Amino acid sequence: MEFLSQVINGLGIGSIYALVALGYSMVYGIVQLINFAHGDIIMVGAYTVFVILVMMNLPLWLAVLGSILFCGVAGVLIERVAYRRLLVHAAPRISLLITAIGVSIFLQNLYQLLFGSDPKSMPKMFVFAPLQFGGVQLTSSTIINISVSVVMMAGLQLMVNKMKIGKAMRATSEDAGAAKLMGINTNTTIAFTFGIGSALAAVGAVLYCNTYPQIKPAMGGLLGLKAFVAAVLGGIGSIPGAMLGGYLLGVAESLTNAYISSNLTDAVVFGILIIVLLVKPTGLLGKNTREKV
Amino acid sequence: MKKRLLAAALAATMVAASVTGCAQSGDAGSQGSGDAAGGDTVKIGGLAPLTGNVSVYGIATNNGIKLAVDEINKAGGVLGKKIEYVPYDEKGDAIEAVNAYNKLVQDDKVVALIGDVTSKPTIAVAQKAVKDGLPMITATGTAADITKAGDNVFRACFIDTYQGELMAAYAARKLNAKTAAIIYDNGDEYSTGVANAFEEAAKSEVITITNKEAYQSGAMDFKTQLTKIKASNPDVVMIPVYYSDVALIAVQAKDIGLKAKLLGADGWDGVLEKIDKSNQDAVKDCYFCSQYSAESTDPKLQDFLKKYKETYKADPTLFAVLGYDAMGMMAAAINKAGSTDSDKIISALKALEYKGLTGNTTFDENRNPVREAVITTITDGKYKFVENFKK
């Protein structure tokens, strides 16, 4: 029974990793950029919830909606200001990466300046009584985390595979030059991808605040790193892969804590990553793409 | 062109943000008093980080010391002379601290030292002070090694292990606990120190430790550890970590339905401010020890807190209170010794019984303070004084 509880604990945190990993994966899929500022978008989302819910004392739905919109816009804006010029001029990959790190540091410092570096506490958000199945208890936050992440992934998968913008995204990802020739506005498509990725990070932020009622400017660092690991584990560029990676990471952490040693959590988790990459360098669900000559 | 301007503007903002982020407001407490004419004063040196990363602690401690000096001087000083307090800023750095120490001894010729504030520089300075045989009291250095340096090194604050032992005794004798679990931050010396001491002391108090769970600094998910603890259903859970982690752990413990009483040490101070009102019932059944309580009715302490607020326009912290007491102890010892001779002051300190803001203090054989700790609980979103407790 305890084993099942621990697996569910792992899925709860894994859902948040998964939502954040989706953003990494989508952006990487389309422009091959590891957007290290993505973790800090979660922080931006969390502080937006804090501002609307606590400082302005407005209703919860407004805070959630506001946070998602704000992050979506912020994502588009960051792409426009920091990355587009580099992308259009086909700057070396390393320049993009360094810019991403710069944006990350900028966001952390900006929020530290605005709100101070000490943690802020969040109120209760979505609460209902825990469900009991035999000896296994499901807390409200775990149920919400798992179900929201599944719904989000399904929606995203539907959008990418069925909708026109999804087709444009796939085309841009496959071959941006050819897509442009076919009349696809690749700039808009890339901006849209950043926006959607950031909006998903905001959803992750809302779940985060609901589960761990404390936020600080540096919170995106470790969370972003773990989500990045989840994305790589699942196969970066793949949507189901990001989800799978997130859940696996969460469960691996939880089970290591529970049955091996809480002193070794990170060692075991990153050990798994190394083994997976040795055996399958593209990640669990990654596609084997050969460089075209 | 427009794009380039935009990029430049962004870069400028970034630079501005990072520069402002690091800016330190330097306020080296200038303390030089005018009547420092030769033998008319008793010079006591001070070392504290007044600028730099840990300046919060240094400034508070230094302010507390200065209030004590004012009070002692108003009441006639020591040995019929006024105390001249000579503080130096060591910026939280061990090398700076040793340099400042040399200056205090060679140039200022101080008869005693109050300092340092944080553990690392204090250890460095203590090693020097042992060679000189200079009586020194650190107000707030908690590392056990500090007073092991030698016979002349004392401290005013509890050491980490003492708090662990104290809470184990409290759990057994006052809360009738038979079983206990521990959850601690294994990347933090304070946390591991208190946790190990609690575990060790639990044996002699006949408490069974059901779980000892660690987590890594910066973790925010504790459900796994708490689920394990819940399964063994202990009477109490010892959580010797700092307040912002306590806030997260307590709320998750409530979420998963853990019923045990929560225990903590002085790192809990400030936890209420880090838990939103809607979650504060998570810490309603808790007990933590600290070195003083602002809710205490002791008129001397209340008077100090008021005076501190008026003088410095800031809320007094434990550091200020301990700074005040450290200076009080040193002054009392010099008076008792009847001279400024180092050896006489040291013997006087060893035999000292001092009644200060933190209670009645004597020193044990390791020159650590022995006194009652304050046990605090939280009810209705307020800290509440429970009792004074001594092992």
**If contacts are CB pairs under 8 Å, which of residues 191-250 in chain B contact chain A?**
213-216, 218, 220-221, 223-225, 227-228, 231, 244, 247-248
Whether B274 and A214 lie within 8 Å, measured CB to CB: yes
Q: Which of A2, A13, A109 sits opposite B18 (nearest CB)?
A: A109
* Residue B327 to residue B342: CA distance in whole angstroms: 16
Q: Which of B17, B252, B275 sits opposite A109 (nearest CB)?
A: B17
Identify the residue whose tokens are 């050491």.
B159
* Residue B169 to residue B163: CA distance in whole angstroms: 10
* Residue A130 to residue B254: CA distance in whole angstroms: 11
Residue environment code for B72-85, b if the CB has 16+ CB neighbours within 10 A, otherwise e: bbeeebbeebbbbb
Whether A119 and B244 lie within 8 Å, measured CB to CB: yes
Dihedral sign of CA atoms B195, B199, B202, B207 in order: positive
Whether B257 and A253 lie within 8 Å, measured CB to CB: no
Q: A168 to chain B, minimum CA–CA distance in Å?
A: 26
Average pLDDT over residues A167-188: 90
For testing the chain A interface, which of B191, B196, B255 should be mutated: the one with the most A CBs within 10 Å? B255
**Nearest C-alpha neighbor of B116 from the set B52, B194, B62, B162:** B62
Per-residue pLDDT of A245-277, as tens digits, reads 999 999 999 999 888 888 788 888 888 888 988
* Residue A235 to residue A62: CA distance in whole angstroms: 35
Sheet of B41-48: strand order equals: B82-89, B41-48, B112-114, B136-138, B153-155
Q: Which of A130, A211, A214 sits opposite B247 (nearest CB)?
A: A214
Q: Residue A263 has what DSSP assignment?
A: T
Per-residue pLDDT of A91-150, as tens digits, reads 888 999 999 999 999 999 999 999 988 889 999 888 787 788 777 888 888 999 999 999
Outline where B23-114 has alpha helix (H): 55-74, 94-106
**The two structure tokens encoding residue B319:** 């550091």
* Residue B114 to residue A61: CA distance in whole angstroms: 55
Whether B214 and A222 lie within 8 Å, measured CB to CB: no
Outline where chain A has alpha helix (H): 2-31, 38-50, 60-78, 84-88, 93-115, 140-162, 164-174, 176-181, 186-211, 220-234, 239-255, 265-279
CB pairs under 8 A between A and B: 109
Average pLDDT over residues A211-240: 90
**The two structure tokens encoding residue B381:** 């979103």
Query: Within 13 Å and on the Cβ side, how many CA atoms surround B151?
Result: 12
Provide, as residue numbers in chain A, all residues whose Cβ is less than 8 Å from the Cβ of B5: none
Average pLDDT over residues A214-237: 90
Q: B213 to chain A, minimum CA–CA distance in Å?
A: 7
The residues, any chain, with a CB within 8 Å of residue A205's CB and separated by 6 or more, are: A41, A42, A43, A44, A45, A46, A48, A49, A67, A71
Provide, as residue numbers in chain B, all residues whose Cβ is less than 8 Å from the Cβ of A119: 244, 247, 274
Q: A159 to chain B, minimum CA–CA distance in Å?
A: 32
Q: From B13, which residue of chain A is nearest by alpha-carbon distance? A: A106
- pLDDT by residue, tens only, chain B of 391 residues: 455 555 555 555 555 444 444 443 333 434 443 333 357 899 999 999 998 878 888 999 999 999 999 999 999 999 999 999 999 999 889 999 999 999 999 999 999 999 899 888 999 999 999 999 999 999 998 888 899 999 999 999 998 888 999 999 999 999 999 999 999 998 888 899 899 999 999 999 999 999 999 998 888 899 999 999 999 999 999 999 988 899 999 999 998 889 899 999 988 887 888 888 888 888 888 999 988 888 788 899 999 999 999 999 988 888 999 999 999 999 999 999 999 999 999 999 999 999 999 889 999 999 999 888 999 999 888 888 888 888 7
**Nearest C-alpha neighbor of A214 from the set B383, B262, B271:** B271
Residue range(s) in chain B whose domain bears CATH number 3.40.50.2300: 38-158+299-371, 161-290
Q: Which of A2, A130, A211 sits opposite B227 (nearest CB)?
A: A2
Residue length, chain A?
Answer: 293
The CATH number of A2-279 is 1.10.3470
Cis geometry, peptide bond prior to residue B116 (ω within 30 degrees of 0): yes
Cα–Cα distance list, B20 to A109, A112, B17, B38 (Å): 9, 10, 5, 44
For testing the chain B interface, which of A84, A262, A264, A270 should be mutated: the one with the most B CBs within 10 Å? A262
Q: Where are the domains of chain A?
A: 2-279
Cα–Cα distance list, A111 to A79, A100, B11, B133, B137 (Å): 19, 17, 16, 49, 40
Per-residue pLDDT of A192-204, as tens digits, reads 999 999 999 999 9
Q: What percent of chain B has pLDDT over 70?
A: 90
Q: Determine the pLDDT at residue B34.
A: 38
Q: Determine the pLDDT at residue B298.
A: 85
**Nearest C-alpha neighbor of A72 from the set A243, A179, A199, A169:** A199
ipTM here: 0.84
Q: Determine the pLDDT at residue B308.
A: 95
Identify the residue whose tokens are 């200076």.
B327
Q: A158 to chain B, minimum CA–CA distance in Å?
A: 31
Is residue A33 scored above 60 in pLDDT?
A: yes
- Give the bridge partners for B236, in sequence order: B180, B261
Q: B146 to chain A, minimum CA–CA distance in Å?
A: 28
* Residue B140 to residue B95: CA distance in whole angstroms: 19
Provide, as residue numbers in chain B, all residues whose Cβ is less than 8 Å from the Cβ of A2: 227-228, 231
Tell the CATH superfamily of the B38-158+299-371 domain: Response regulator (3.40.50.2300)
Q: Determine the pLDDT at residue B165.
A: 92
**The two structure tokens encoding residue B259:** 């019923």
Q: A59 to chain B, minimum CA–CA distance in Å?
A: 15
The burial of B177, by beta-carbon neighbours within 10 Å (0-12 exposed, 13-18 middle, 19 or more buried), is given as buried
For testing the chain B interface, which of A212, A219, A268 should be mutated: the one with the most B CBs within 10 Å? A212
CATH code 3.40.980.10 for B161-290: no
Q: Which of A113, A222, A262 sits opposite B225 (nearest CB)?
A: A262
| Element of type H or E holding B198 | helix B189-204
Q: Determine the pLDDT at residue B12.
A: 52
B279 touches chain A (CB under 8 A): yes
